[in-house]
Amino acid sequence: MSRLDSAIRRLQAQRACLDWAVAGIAGQPGPVLELGLGNGRTYDHLRQRLPGRQIFVFERQVAAHPDCVPDAAHLLLGDFRDTLPGALARTGGGAVFAHCDIGSGDPALTAELAAFVGPALAPLLAAGAVVAADQALDIAGCTAVALPDGVAPGRYHLYRKDAE
């Protein structure tokens, strides 16, 4: 498979999982977390699908299209290891959805970051919250969910936080 075909399949899987998650949180109040702004495509997608919903974005350094950068109140700049702990005070409550796009070209660094993000994310989630991630995560109190039709296993990952 060419790198172009792989990128297209990844983006199709990402969109399918994001749209599945948006439908899965309909009617549930609470903020949304976006871990990894990148160029802002998924943030833009989420704010169009979730108008009026607060979306808090965690990013090390902004490099997104100017139209796809959240306001200062919803942007937590810095390393995830510094910004995730204690973020509940900033978000005002447990998140009903978290999208984690944290992969990089370095498999060892990506695995290390995923090992941190899973446990750090758990206390930020409301009961019944959905997590969509490009990496497998170990999130206490969350159960893996079947992927939408057409998304190959391992291409993306979905979780739901257990009811408390």
Within 13 Å, how many C-alpha atoms sit on residue 50's CB side?
30
84-129: pLDDT as tens digits? 998 999 998 899 999 999 988 889 999 999 999 999 999 999 999 9
Query: Which residue range is the domain that position 124 belongs to?
Result: 3-161
CATH number at residue 42: 3.40.50.150
Domain count, the chain: 1
**Residue whose C-alpha is closest to residue 45's, from 109, 59, 37, 115:** 37
Global pTM reads 0.94
CA–CA dist 87, 90 (Å, integer): 5
CA 56 to chain centre: 10
